[in-house]
């Protein structure tokens, strides 16, 4: 009876181990397919095009990963709340969906080095001489009220800055486009969206208010896959691929990104 119990316990342990290693690098290579979670509706990182196909920064990174692995790509659109559960339950092998790293999330999954910039910043025309909050005095600054940008700028803007608060991002965008404000304070994806809609628009990043770069999520225990992803990110940084994607989708050169 003891022998049977030991065998049963060993079998249960081996099954548990197999489940945890389901999306390891060797399994992906042998299966010939990699399943990658991408944003369901968060342009310019991931969204449906007019043709009905997903496109964006994260989608391009996913395609490049599949190409370098030499396997087929299966894109899995996810909402923000689905990112970690889908990884934990083996619905996907990797999460490339503008996910920031923090101690809470790190209890559940592993994170790669950062692969994409994501930040709140100040944006204006090239003719506007601004390089930091101290230069905003005398200028009209448009932002969405009650946001992180509002809190940060209200605390750091010098006297003489005219902060104009709008009810939502659409109104804030419209105010900048109509010339109602000199400086737009928002997320880099909003600014990139403006550039994408009108490539001739004179808008550039003046300074960053808060950094929140994006990391690739890997299931805990899949060490070989994590190592491969980190080498992939390093290779694409050095080779300029990520810089090209940043210029294409975010309208800016790839800034320095953190690693672990």
| Residue 38: per-residue pLDDT | 97
pLDDT tens profile 186-219 = 988 888 888 878 989 999 999 999 888 999 999 9
Q: In whole angstroms, what is the distance from residue 97 CA to residue 60 CA? A: 12
The answer to whether 97 and 37 have CB atoms below 8 angstroms apart is yes
186: which strand partners? Answer: 121
- Report pTM: 0.71
Q: Please, what are the domains in the chain?
A: 23-118+212-250 (3.40.190.10), 119-211 (3.40.190.10)
Q: What is the dihedral of CA 82, 85, 91, 94, to 10 degrees?
A: 80
How far, in Å, CA of 164 to CA of 150, rounded?
10
158: which DSSP letter? Answer: P
Q: pLDDT tens, 55-110? A: 999 999 999 999 999 999 999 999 888 999 999 999 999 999 988 888 989 999 99
Which among 118, 91, 240, 131 has a CA at the least distance from the CA of 188?
Answer: 118
Q: What is the pLDDT of residue 152?
A: 87
Half-sphere exposure of 17 (CA within 13 A, CB side): 6
> If pLDDT is split at 50, 70 and 90, which confidence band does 1 have?
very low
Using the predicted structure, report yes or no on whether residue 29 has a pLDDT greater than 90. Answer: yes
The answer, yes or no, to whether residue 234 has pLDDT greater than 90, is yes
H-helix segments, 89-240? 103-106, 148-156, 169-177, 188-197, 223-238
The tens digit of pLDDT for each residue in 112-141 reads 999 999 888 999 999 999 999 999 999 999
């Amino acid at each position: 009876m003891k022998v049977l119990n030991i065998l049963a316990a060993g079998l249960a342990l081996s099954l548990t181990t197999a489940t945890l290693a389901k999306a390891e690098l060797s399994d992906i290579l042998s299966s010939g397919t990699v399943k990658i979670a991408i944003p369901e509706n968060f342009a310019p990182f991931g969204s449906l095009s007019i043709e009905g196909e997903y496109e964006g920064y994260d989608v391009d990174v996913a395609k490049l990963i599949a190409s370098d692995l030499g396997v087929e790509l299966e894109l899995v659109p996810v909402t923000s709340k689905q990112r970690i559960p889908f990884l934990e339950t083996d619905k996907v092998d990797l999460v490339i969906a503008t996910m920031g790293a923090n101690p809470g999330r790190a209890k559940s999954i592993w994170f790669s080095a950062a692969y994409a910039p994501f930040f709140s910043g100040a944006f204006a025309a090239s003719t506007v001489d601004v390089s930091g909050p101290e230069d905003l005095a005398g200028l009209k600054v448009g932002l969405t009220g009650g946001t992180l940008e509002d809190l940060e700028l209200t605390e750091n803007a010098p006297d003489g800055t005219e902060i104009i608060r709008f009810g939502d991002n659409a109104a804030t965008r419209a105010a900048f486009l109509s010339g109602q404000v000199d400086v737009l304070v928002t997320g880099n994806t909003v600014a990139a969206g403006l550039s994408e809609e009108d490539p001739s628009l004179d808008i550039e990043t003046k300074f960053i208010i808060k950094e929140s770069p994006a990391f690739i999520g890997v299931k805990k225990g899949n060490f070989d896959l994590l190592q491969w992803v980190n080498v992939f990110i390093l290779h694409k940084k050095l080779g300029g691929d990520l810089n090209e994607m940043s210029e294409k989708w975010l309208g800016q050169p790839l800034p320095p990104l953190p690693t672990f």
